[in-house]
Amino acid sequence: QQYCTLNKMIDRKWVSDPDEYVCTLSKETQEIAERELREDEQIRRSALASMREWIMQNPKIKNCRMDSSFLLRFLRFKKFHVTLAQEALERYVLLRQTFGVAFNCLDIRIPMMEELTNLGYLFACPKRDSKGRRVIVARPGVFDLDKFTNADMCRIHGIVYETLMEDEENQIRGFVHFADGQGVGFAYLTLFTIKEAVRIVKNGEKTLPMRHKEVHGINVHPSMKFALDFGMSLISDKIKSRVKLYTDLDEALESGYLQRDVLPKEYGGIMPMDEMIELWKEELRKSHPILMSHDKMEVEEGLFSFKAREGAVSALKRNISSCGSERDSLCGITGNFRKLEVD
């Protein structure tokens, strides 16, 4: 019976099929992967085989991507400690179900997502920095609290991060974050309750397989200082040591950590922000089919402990901001969990 069950699991239709990994990374990137992540051809091949066998035999996972690029996200995130990578993947798919608003229906064609992208709320600069990293620009001040909800905020972050994680170069080299706090005031604290914020930050750091190498922030309003201090207390010491805050743009540019030519022209660079956003939208369009296929991923929640299910962000349940179809123009804009009670 166990043999028949295993065969049935192996014959299942997955979101994406297992593939034979072909390395297209530059020699420099491969050297970084080996030095920082313990990755080489033999370790990679063995780890991918172990991940696939574990998924096939894991009754908790009903459907998942099986292609190398997706599985390598988690292996690289955990420096090829296979058991830790397996735990991270399992937690990731569980989080997709319990916190659906940030992970499901990641459709850039939703009107609110298009508008936030055009406003330059969150986008990646087209040029990599001298260390080969993508720079993610965040401008929360353009987020209109009367028009957008925290559901919209979560979803646009999901779209941006998932798109970037598709690129192996990004998986290895990591990301630089540049945030402009201009226009962000006390009212923004109403977007999430304290408990929601805690769960989002902690689960995001533990679950999203991203390597955050540097975080730079400018124009932090004095009224937000205590909120920022609270947020800093939630993140790990490793990430905390990589956060640098500046009074204004001039101070940030003079610090020597940020490259002018990578940033938008409005922040001292060369290329205007509008041009960067148009290039970024091309990347989003290309990743759209893959991101939509992620909605097929599923776990058997009943096999997880109550603590695991609730820990995934208990205040933000699925279907709060649901979406019936990627062609539904209202997808994602009817839900608003801002007023939810938190246990």
Average pLDDT, the chain: 84
CA 153 to chain centroid, in Å, comes to: 12
Contact 122, 111 (CB under 8 A): no
With 90 as the cut, is the pLDDT of residue 335 above it?
A: no
> What is the residue-wise DSSP string for 9-26?
HHTSPPSB----------
pLDDT tens by residue, 275-311: 999 999 999 999 999 999 999 999 998 888 877 766 5
How many C-beta neighbours within 10 Å does residue 249 have? 17
Q: 235 versus 323: which is more confidently predicted? A: 235
pLDDT tens by residue, 54-89: 999 999 999 999 999 999 999 999 999 999 999 999
pLDDT tens by residue, 91-147: 999 988 887 666 789 999 999 999 999 999 999 999 999 999 999 999 999 999 999
- The identity of residue 225, as a single letter, is K
